[in-house]
Amino acid sequence: MADLVVQRPEGLYCPPGDFYIDPWRPVERAVITHAHADHARPGHRHYLAAAAGEGVLRQRLGDIALQTLPYGERIVHHGVELSLHPAGHVLGSAQVRLAHAGRVWVASGDYKVAPDPTCAPFEPQRCDVFITESTFGLPIYRWRADAELFAEVDAWWQANAEAGRASVLACYSFGKAQRILAGVNAAIGPILVHGAVEPLNAAYRAAGVALPATALATEVADRALLRRALVLCPPSAVASPWARRFGEFSSAFASGWMQLRGARRRGGYDRGFVLSDHADWPGLLQAIGATGAGRVIVTHGSTAALVRYLTEQGLQAGAFRTEYGDDALEPEGAA
C-alpha cells in the first residue's frame, strides 16, 4: 500500500488528499503546523492551521486565505480524515493526524513535551506511522525544569539591576520570548522588548495568554529605568547600534544550543541559558513511544543518530529530507 505522506520537491505531500504539510515551495493547499518561518511560508493558495495559531500566523504572513480548525475537530478531504492536535511547541502549534484506508499517520511539526504556560500541552496521538522532528536528537540534550532555569535568569537579572546594568537577553521573538516573559519574576524591574517581539506579544495576549507588561525599548528614555530592565531582543540586535541605548549591559542568550560547550563563547555572550521549545532526547523518545507507531520517519535535526537508535530498538525507522531549520536558523527579528 502506498505511503500516506511522501517527499516532493515542494514539501511533504499527501497523495490521496492532494495537500502538503508545511511545504517550502508555493502550493495550492498547505496544512501548517505552526507559524515559525521555516514551516509557514508565504505564497500558498490556501492555508489550513489550528485555530489557536491564527493570530500569530496572520501577524507573520499577512492577508492569507486561511482556514482554521479547532484542536481535535476532524474534517474529511478527498477521503482523508484530517485533524490537528497540540504539539506543545509554541502558540497554535499542531500535529497533523491523517487517517485513510485503515491507516493513521501523524506529522508532528516541531514539538516539546515539557510544560509551557504559553501554549497547549503536547497530546500524543496513537498511529501507525509517526513523522518526528529531531532538532535536539542526541543524548547530550537533556533540559532542566523551568522553575530551576528561570530562578537562574531571575538571579542574573536581579544582580545586574543592583549593579546598574541592563540585562539584555537574546531569544527568538516568537515562542521563546513569550515563554521567558511567562517564566520570569516581573517584580524585579521593568521589561523592555525589541520591535520584533512586541507584535507577537500582542498576538499571544489576544489569544488569552497571560504575559507581564512590556514596553518597546525605543520608547524609554529614562536612564535609571534602562539600567534596571530585562530586555528581550533577537540575537542580531545585541551587537547592533540598537543596543547602545543601554550603555553598559550584561548579555545572555536563551537557547537549547547553550548546552554545547563553547556556544556561548562563540556568540560573545556573558551568560547562556539552556532553554528550548523543542523536545530534548528523553522527550523525543517519550513522544515517539507514546504514539505506539511501528514506523518512524525523522525529518530534521540529528536525523541519522535518531534513526540509528530507533532501528536498534526494533522500529522501522527512516528519514525525509526537508528544508526545515531549527530555532537557531529562524530569521532573527522574525522568529
35 & 66 share domain: yes
245 & 291 share domain: no
Please determine, for residue 333, whether its predicted confidence score (pLDDT) is greater than 80. Answer: no
20 & 80 share domain: yes
Please determine, for residue 19, whether its predicted confidence score (pLDDT) is greater than 70. Answer: yes
Please determine, for residue 20, whether its predicted confidence score (pLDDT) is greater than 50. Answer: yes
221 & 287 share domain: no
174 & 85 share domain: no
CA–CA separation, 135 vs 109, rounded Å?
Answer: 11
Any domain includes 331: no
76 & 135 share domain: yes
Please determine, for residue 91, whether its predicted confidence score (pLDDT) is greater than 60. Answer: yes
Confidence at 147, pLDDT banded by 50, 70, 90:
very high
186 & 222 share domain: yes
183 & 228 share domain: yes
Question: How confident is the model over 290-313, as pLDDT tens digits?
Answer: 999 999 999 999 999 999 999 999
154 & 219 share domain: yes
Number of folded domains that form the chain? 2
Confidence at 226, pLDDT banded by 50, 70, 90:
very high
Any domain includes 127: yes
Cell numbers placing 324: 526545515
281 & 253 share domain: no
Mean pLDDT of 78-89: 98
CA–CA separation, 145 vs 274, rounded Å?
Answer: 10
**Per-residue confidence (pLDDT) for residue 139, from 0 to 100:** 96
**Per-residue confidence (pLDDT) for residue 329, from 0 to 100:** 40
CA–CA separation, 37 vs 95, rounded Å?
Answer: 17
User: Any idea what the CATH number is for the domain that residue 216 is in?
Assistant: 3.40.50
91: containing domain = 6-140+277-319
15 & 135 share domain: yes
74 & 195 share domain: no
Any domain includes 17: yes
Please determine, for residue 335, whether its predicted confidence score (pLDDT) is greater than 50. Answer: no
pTM of the model: 0.94
Cβ pair 150, 315 in contact under 8 A: no
User: How confident is the prediction for the chain on average, in pLDDT?
Assistant: 94
Mean pLDDT of 255-273: 82
Any domain includes 333: no
Any domain includes 328: no
Instruction: Specify the range with the lowest mean pLDDT, choosing from 113-122, 132-141, 143-152, 267-276.
Output: 267-276
Q: Using only C-alpha atoms, what is the Rg of the chain?
A: 20
Place of cell 517550502: 24
Question: How confident is the model over 166-214, as pLDDT tens digits?
Answer: 999 999 999 999 999 999 999 999 999 999 999 999 999 999 999 999 9
